[in-house]
Amino acid sequence: MNSLSCSGLSRRPLHVLLALFLQSSAVLGQTYFNGVPFFGGDASFADEIISFDPLFSGGPAPFRISPEDVLGRLDRTPFLFTAYQALGHGGAIELGFNDYYLTNDGTDAVELYIGEVQGSPEAVYISLRPTAATRSQLGDEFDLNGDTYFEVGRYAGESYLDVYGYAIVLDVDDLFPGYANQSLFFDAVQIIDDPQQGSSAGDTVGMDLESVGVIYGQFRGDFNKDQKVTVADVTLLAAAIRRANHRLQYDLDNDGLVNGSDMDVMIHSSLQTYYGDANLDGEFNSQDFVVVFAAGKYENPTASARWDTGDWNSDGVFSTTDLVLAFQDGGYEAGPRRAAIVPEPITNPLFAILALLPLVLFGNVRRKVGR
Ligand SMILES: [Ca+2]
Ligand SMILES: [Ca+2]
Ligand SMILES: [Ca+2]
Ligand SMILES: [Ca+2]
């Protein structure tokens, strides 16, 4: 299986590559990191190291063990080859996406980006973990070894330079053809270095993983598929909870049920806020009370309410129960839940050009220094 469906770009001259970078900011809804388009912005990248075992196939392990370096945005920096993790000879890593799931776009464009820090990626075996809904839709037979991941193939690196840089890219529709746009979802990826390929010793033995990102996905909780999570999505989830509608698309915590714990995920993780934040500005304060009491639904059992009119426990009305839940959640006057303000992504085309230069000038520098 040839993963590099965009490899036709590989031999384009430099000025064409630069033109591709320069047009980047014109594309609606995408954020470019090192010239690679990601629809989910900063949310696009792996958030969690589920496991890392550089000795999975017996080793040897790489010199430096710091798998957290793989998390977060693609930030391949010229002459700074430290923010990555070598997997080890036959080493295995599992990375989770907590707020933005890999999905299919219904076309032959690629959706998953697995970035090598510098130079051609070494061969790896890749598996994708489906959500509960997708597993029930596709069936268990894709999970060949019963580890909850669908084994999708071996991807051998090619030495090429294009808008995706040095990376392995996957088209989900190529793996699972014939499904409508945004109907399949995966929340983790497993990458196992192929011990039969590449060098079997050295400080950076195994694939040198820089970043893993979802080029095209869906925010967790975006039920109406408009590429954002809003009160409209909260309303859909609340209705599903009230109806005990166990359609798995609403099962945000993948336990096979649709109930209040899925709303917890929605409020705390997807929306990064607290119960009581009626206006969804990221904090729970007196302004939210102004909003909900102005709506006039309080203690009116015949007035159906939703999140922004005071129904926070998903029973469809605004009552003292909602107030109790909101205060128990502990967010009142606690400020924004979202911890840190992240810096703006690198979208300056000039930087992208600078980022290209070492690849052009010193394309094989890693081989000289690492192996
Ligand atoms: Ca939405
Ligand atoms: Ca659930
Ligand atoms: Ca608020
Ligand atoms: Ca309520």
Let me know whether 116 and 204 are in one domain: yes
Ligand of minimum distance to the alpha carbon of 259: 2
Let me know whether 173 and 284 are in one domain: no
Looking at the chain, the whole-number percentage of residues with pLDDT higher than 70 is 79
Residue 74 is assigned to a structural domain of this protein: yes
Tell me, in angstroms, the distance from the centre of ligand 2 to residue 130's CA: 15
Tell me, in angstroms, the distance from the centre of ligand 4 to residue 353's CA: 54
Let me know whether 119 and 189 are in one domain: yes
Residue 54 is assigned to a structural domain of this protein: yes
Let me know whether 196 and 254 are in one domain: no
Let me know whether 83 and 190 are in one domain: yes
Tokens representing 261 are 């714990």
Range from 80-89, 184-193, 304-313 carrying the lowest mean pLDDT: 80-89
Domain count, the chain: 2
Let me know whether 242 and 265 are in one domain: yes
Domain that holds residue 127: 7-221+344-370
Backbone angles phi, psi at 92, to 5 degrees: -130, 140
Residue 147 is assigned to a structural domain of this protein: yes
Let me know whether 122 and 236 are in one domain: no
Let me know whether 261 and 364 are in one domain: no
pLDDT the model gives residue 79: 55
Residue 339 is assigned to a structural domain of this protein: no
Residues at Cβ < 5 Å from ligand 1 ion: 222, 224, 226, 233
- Rounded to whole angstroms, the maximal C-alpha distance in the chain is 74
pLDDT band at 297 (very low <50, low <70, confident <90, very high): very high
20 CB-contact burial (10 Å; exposed 0-12 / middle 13-18 / buried 19+): middle
Residue 216 is assigned to a structural domain of this protein: yes
Tokens representing 23 are 């047009």
Let me know whether 184 and 84 are in one domain: yes
Tell me, in angstroms, the distance from the centre of ligand 2 to residue 66's CA: 32
The answer to whether residue 101 scores a pLDDT higher than 50 is yes
pLDDT the model gives residue 343: 40
Indicate whether this model's pTM tops 0.75.
yes
Residue 208 is assigned to a structural domain of this protein: yes
Residues 146-167 pLDDT 10s = 999 999 999 876 544 455 668 8
The answer to whether residue 9 scores a pLDDT higher than 50 is no
Range from 54-58, 71-75, 89-93, 135-139 carrying the lowest mean pLDDT: 71-75
Residue 334 is assigned to a structural domain of this protein: no
Selected residue with higher pLDDT from 91 and 350 = 91
Let me know whether 55 and 204 are in one domain: yes
Let me know whether 21 and 167 are in one domain: yes
Let me know whether 324 and 352 are in one domain: no
Q: Report how far residue 250's alpha carbon sits from residue 181's, in angstroms, rounded to the nearest whole number.
A: 18
pLDDT the model gives residue 2: 34
107 CB-contact burial (10 Å; exposed 0-12 / middle 13-18 / buried 19+): exposed
Q: Is 260 helix (H, G, I), strand (E, B) or coil?
A: helix
Tell me, in angstroms, the distance from the centre of ligand 3 to residue 339's CA: 16
The full length of the chain comes to: 371
pLDDT band at 365 (very low <50, low <70, confident <90, very high): very low
Q: What does the pLDDT average to over 33-50?
A: 91
Q: What angle do CA 86, 92, 98 make, to 5 degrees?
A: 95
pLDDT band at 272 (very low <50, low <70, confident <90, very high): very high
Tell me, in angstroms, the distance from the centre of ligand 1 to residue 221's CA: 7
Residues at Cβ < 5 Å from ligand 2 ion: 251, 253, 255, 257, 262
